[in-house]
Amino acid sequence: MKALVYDAPRKFEYRDVPDPELEADEILMKIQACGLCGTDLHIHEGEFAPRFPLIPGHEFTGTVAASGSAVTGLPVGQRVVANSNMACGHCFYCVRGDTLLCENLEAYGVTRNGGFAEYMKIKAHRVFPISHLSPREAVMVEPTSCALHGMEVLDLEPGSDVLIFGAGPTGQVLAQLMKMNGAATLTAAAPAGPKLDLVGRLAADHVVAIDRKDPEVHRRRLQELAPKGFDYVIEATGAPSVCEEALNFVRRRGTILVYGVYPEKASVRFDPFDVFRREITIKGSFAQIDSFQRALNYLENGRIQVNEVVTQEIPLKDWGKALDLAWSRQGIKTALVP
């Protein structure tokens, strides 16, 4: 089969590889589409502890092509999505029930071969049947699951004023979830363009364009919208400078959610006296592990709209072009098709 293989950071090739050999508890998935995620850009640089040689891709959807002898209930041809994250079940955190914090966390597309290929094999217990989601929508199940986990971490008090920085793919979903689950007002701040327009249509009451050359403009606008600040500020851009700025917009006893994916070596400066004096809470939310079924539920029932989030489909063999699009921040999200 053909697959996109990374032999080392930045060293990739679309080439023939042997077909995966199934174990008894695995299925073979014929990939229909696999989303390009910010995480894949980090893996490209060798961040996030990828195990090379690696076929990346962790937002996959396809059909069951074959199954191992111990697999039941997943007939050939069934359309499916699958949870790429898998905990070990026996480390310090797993036995406490904190499986997402597993010390031996495995992830298809990071530590095991993923979905940037014609076929992939995956443990059947990670697989979820789907009915009417299009492949474009189905690649958004994993990001939606991440956004749902973000909601759980955030623990949003109903009736709150919320500000989200960033309007990328999971930001679009998180904004919709917050609108449905407790945000009395929702403001989205991001550079002007299709992402900001979409979040305005899908969820936000107010959109504020960020102008990096003249940040005073958006700062003034946010102060007008919430003179006392916001109860919750979600940092969903992954830019350290925005994370620093988030503290200026949270009100007393407010919460900041660090949700974006930052470069591993990034650092931010904040004023500890300010955090102490105003009783600010800073929380982090990482990926997902047990919210997959509920994410699927939201999507299959049309409560979360992702149809316009995937803005382009690119053949997997043109991976370099997909990377260029991502780096130049064109469109919102790319799905790769084998």
What's the rounded Cα separation, in Å, for the pair 120 and 104? 21
Residue 174 binds Zn ion, judged by CB under 5 A: no
Q: Which is nearer to Zn ion, 31 or 37 (CB)?
A: 37
Nearest to 18 by CA among 123, 126, 122, 118: 118
Side chain identity, residue 257: L
Instruction: Give the integer Cα–Cα distance in Å for 120 and 139.
Output: 15
Q: Which of 32, 39, 172, 291 binds Zn ion (CB under 5 A)?
A: 39
- Least distance between Zn ion and beta carbon 273 (Å): 36
Q: How far is the CB of 46 from Zn ion (least distance, A)?
A: 17
Q: Which is nearer to Zn ion, 88 or 314 (CB)?
A: 88
| CB-side neighbour CA atoms (13 Å) of 35 | 28
Residue (150 or 182) nearer to Zn ion, CB: 150
Quick one: 52 or 92, whose CB is closer to Zn ion?
Answer: 92
Q: Is 243 in the site for Zn ion (CB under 5 A)?
A: no
- Least distance from Zn ion to the Cβ atom of residue 110, Å: 10
Q: Output the smallest distance, CB 312 to Zn ion, in A.
A: 17
Does residue 100 interact with Zn ion by CB under 5 A?
no
For the chain, the straight-line distance linking the first and the last C-alpha, in angstroms and rounded, comes to 10
Which burial class, exposed, middle or buried, applies to 114 when counting CB atoms under 10 A from its CB (0-12, 13-18, 19+)? buried
Instruction: Number of residues interacting with Zn ion: please give it, by CB under 5 A.
Output: 7
Outline where DSSP puts E strands in the chain: 2-8, 11-16, 26-35, 60-67, 79-82, 85-86, 106-107, 119-123, 127-129, 160-165, 183-190, 206-209, 230-235, 250-258, 281-284, 310-315, 333-337
CA distance 209 to 244: 18
- Contacting Zn ion within 70-99 (CB under 5 A): 87-88, 91, 94
Spell out, one character per residue from 288 to 307, where the chain touches Zn ion: x when CB under 5 A holds, - when not. Answer: --------------------
Contact 140, 165 (CB under 8 A): no
**Cα-trace Rg, the chain:** 20
Question: What does the alpha-carbon distance between residue 308 and residue 173 come to, in Å, rounded to a whole number?
Answer: 11
Q: Is 37 in the site for Zn ion (CB under 5 A)?
A: yes
Minimal distance, residue 106 CB to Zn ion, in Å: 9
Q: Which of residues 49-68 bind Zn ion (CB under 5 A)?
A: none
Q: Which stretch binds Zn ion (CB under 5 A): 31-39, 152-160, 172-180, 299-307?
A: 31-39
* Choice between 89 and 129, CB closer to Zn ion: 89
Q: Is 250 in the site for Zn ion (CB under 5 A)?
A: no
Query: Which of the stretches 35-43, 78-86, 192-200, 208-216 binds Zn ion when contact is defined by CB under 5 A?
Result: 35-43
Best CA proximity match to 225, nearest among 191, 186, 194? 186
Q: Taking CB under 5 A as the rule, does residue 17 contact Zn ion?
A: no
Q: Rule CB under 5 A: which residues touch Zn ion? A: 37, 39, 87-88, 91, 94, 102
